Amino acid sequence: MRRQRWREPEYKISAGRCGDLKFNDAQFAEFRKQVIGRIVVASDPDYNSCRGTFMLAFQHFPQIIVYCVGFSDVVACIRFARRVGLHVVCRSGGHSAAGYSVNDEMVLDVGDMNYVLIDPATETALVGAGANMAALNAALDLYQLHVPGGGCGSVGLGGYMQGGGYGFTSLLFGMNCDSVIGVQVALADGRIVTANQHENEDLFWAVRGGTGNNFGVLLEIKYRLRKLGPLWGPGSSGLLPLRRTPTPPASRSLSGRLILRARNARKAWGTSPFWFIPKTLATTI
């Protein structure tokens, strides 16, 4: 039997509801060869689900959606977009309440760049811009390490951190972006740069709270981590452990809000870890 040779499938792009496409079949085929991640265009069966974001109010019809799996995919997208004149928006978790992560031209999705690498020795983490809150918290929980994070597991770090990122522990540890010690960003000219306290200081300042999409494509975040002890929250039968450490607090009279106990906070910050719990309650813990 003759072995069938693997052939690059032929892609025929159709505009669908996208209006006039800014690229032709040949340009698209060339671009496809440079990208490892998935590319979705209007003729794909799952185009509709791919073009959506968390906020259904924003209905856009991108000409092309690219699920980047690595830095090289991001650079290929930027170069392609510049060549054919596509306006690009970035998407990480797709939770932008203003609909900023979808447009009618190119959506550069980093959601597949979702790794979390923790170094417990240096108490730092390298996090792909597409990782979400659930993935980050689960990885950190293994080591009882922490950065301030929100309650919604599917919010993407790419958008959250660049918006500042307020979390349950922000009164103790600051905003999420305050724990960032470095980032990797792909600029509009396709260069990848590191930004931290010593290199590209302006960019480092700008990405921490200036909201995404403005200064380049955020690729990776480096966090300084904090130690965090047991956590409890109110449940039907009193306070329940939220993390793996099972010891409940002595008092059962607390309810109605998340109670956080960070054993090491006093040592690390020289202040009481309970200072944001009302005084009357703090005495009962």
Ligand X SMILES: Cc1cc2nc3c(=O)[nH]c(=O)nc-3n(C[C@H](O)[C@H](O)[C@H](O)COP(=O)(O)OP(=O)(O)OC[C@H]3O[C@@H](n4cnc5c(N)ncnc54)[C@H](O)[C@@H]3O)c2cc1C
Is residue 155 close enough to count as binding ligand X by CB under 6 A? yes
SS3 35: coil
Selected range binding ligand X among 10-18, 137-145, 160-168, 255-263, rule: CB under 6 A: 160-168
**By the rule CB under 6 A, 88 interacts with ligand X:** no
Compute CA distances 265 → 146, 150, 261, 271, 272, whole Å.
12, 19, 9, 7, 7
Under the binding rule (CB under 6 A), the answer on residue 182 touching ligand X is no
**Residue 152 found at the interface with ligand X (CB under 6 A):** yes
Q: Which is nearer to ligand X, 18 or 74 (CB)?
A: 74
Alpha-carbon gap, residue 121 to 135, rounded angstroms? 20
Distance, in Å, from the CA atom of 256 to the CA atom of 259, rounded to the nearest integer, reads 9
Question: Which 184-223 residues touch ligand X, going by CB under 6 A?
Answer: 211-213, 217-218
Cross-strand pairs, 107 = 65, 89
CB of 110 to ligand X, least distance (A): 4
Answer whether 239's CB lies under 8 Å from 253's CB. no
Among 37, 40, 69, 95, binds ligand X (CB under 6 A): 95
Q: How far apart are CA 126 and CA 225, in angstroms?
A: 11
179 binds ligand X (CB under 6 A): no
Where on the chain is the footprint of ligand X (CB under 6 A)?
A: 53-54, 89-97, 100-101, 110, 129, 150-152, 155-156, 158-160, 162-163, 165-166, 211-213, 217-218
